[in-house]
Homo-oligomer: A and B are copies of this chain.
């Protein structure tokens, strides 16, 4: 039974890798062995501020967020990760230092996680993964840069519209509060924006 669920949940990841580059049997077994399925309940922490981030997470289903809480207690969402997305505090993960970020589940979420040590094993046993992860992180870099550009050059209204376009699958799964925190505005102001936009449309 346990074997089964494990077998079942590794599939999306193998499929994900194979869309980038073919894997041989040995590499598939390595992935199956090194990535562990794990369920996080809604609100459960994957990483808590003050700890070292030792895992890299691949979301199979559900949704995680990574955020910082500033001195005034405000939450700033740095990243959302839903199906087929990766998430981790890479700064802490690679330096093995304490993180100032939190990762938690916005829904019950199934992940495949790999420990830092096991990622090194993966790289050693199957050097092909240097290439795979190079490509993955390049893509993440590109979208992060897009977000930075948007943040420094657009109004909250434009950012919200862009969010609607680029995260259509999340729009109805997240609360306004979470969306506001991702956009870097207050829930009150998001409410006013929505009001304004819906009036403009009619």
Contacts and interface: CB of A to CB of B under 8 A. Distances in A.
Dominant secondary structure at the A interface = helix
Contacts of A142: 90-91, 94
Contacts of A94: 138, 142
Contact of A91 (B130, B134, B146): B146
A147 B78 CA distance: 11
A137 B135 CA distance: 10
Nearest to A140: B141
Contacts of A74: 153
Contacts of A152: 76, 78, 151, 184
A133 interface: yes
A98 interface: no
Contacts of A184: 152-153
A175 B91 CA distance: 31
A148 B151 contact: yes
A7 B78 CA distance: 43
Contact of A78 (B133, B140, B145): B145
A79 to B, nearest CB: 8
B127 A68 contact: no
9 contacts: A76-B152, A90-B138, A90-B141, A91-B145, A127-B127, A137-B137, A144-B144, A147-B148, A152-B184
